[in-house]
Amino acid sequence: MIIAVDGPAAAGKGTLARRLAEHYGLAYVDTGLLYRAVGLSVLRAGGDPSDAAAASSAARALDLDQLEDPALRGDEAAQAASQVAASPEVRAALLDVQRRLAANPPPGTSGVVLDGRDIGTVVCPDSDVKIFVTASLEARAERRLKELRQRGLESIRSRVLQDMKERDARDRERAVAPLVPASDAFMLDTTGLDAEAAFQAAVDHIASRTD
């Protein structure tokens, strides 16, 4: 079973994808970490994540062990990921990696839940279930601000909001694999939902697809 969970930053898709994986006994794959690892590699080499040549070189050299780096959870890695993800060469290099992860779930699991931006449209368009998680820009900015402060990072709401607007624009306007819902995706707006309500809505949808 392959479940695709797509959506913009801070919409709640990661939390939802992890819960679905646990609920159904599936492996969880955060595909965004691949792009974060590439972006962070470029930064650590002193490069510019928007430099397509540097980004594609880092993508081709990616080692999956890099996905264990705690720094990938930081905002610097998130911003760099959005920049390298605009490169067609990077997306092509990571496409095969993602498809291999989807096709070869770990022993003891019966499939995968892939959390990303273009899983249902590009990576696994034949997914058994496609869910597109969204929320208002304001709600997503508040969630990100809360997350940053819980990690002890001082952030200004206006700056978080602006960063999110810029990231959304890069994700939606890139020439290759832009952030758009698949035509057959279940649209899940979490603006007014807590994690439990979002999870239950997703489970109800999956039940309707698999019964």
Does a structural domain hold residue 170? yes
Q: For residue 97, is it within any domain?
A: yes
CATH of the domain at 48: 3.40.50.300
Token pair listed for 90: 């990077």
For residue 211, is it within any domain? no
Is residue 69 domain-resident?
Answer: yes
Domain-located, residue 209: no
The answer as to whether 37 is a domain residue is: yes
Domain extent, residue 69, equals: 2-203
**Does the residue 89 lie in any domain?**
yes
| 122 touches 95 (CB < 8 A) | yes
Query: Is 208 domain-assigned?
Result: no
Please state the φ and ψ torsions of residue 182, each to the nearest 5 degrees.
Answer: -65, 150
Instruction: Read off the pLDDT of each residue in 18-45 and give the average, rounded to a whole number.
Output: 96
Say which DSSP state 119 is in: I
Q: Which residues contact 66 (CB under 8 A, 6 or more apart)?
A: 37, 40, 41, 72
Could you tell me the two tokens for 13?
């898709």
The pTM of the whole model exceeds 0.85? yes
Residue 211's pLDDT band (cuts 50, 70, 90): low
Domains in the chain, number: 1
pLDDT tens digits, 69-103: 999 988 899 889 989 998 999 999 999 999 999 99
Q: Which residues contact 29 (CB under 8 A, 6 or more apart)?
A: 98, 101, 102, 112, 113, 114, 115
C-alpha pair distances (Å), 65 with each of 34, 37, 100, 120: 11, 10, 16, 26
CA pair distance 72, 111, nearest whole angstrom: 25
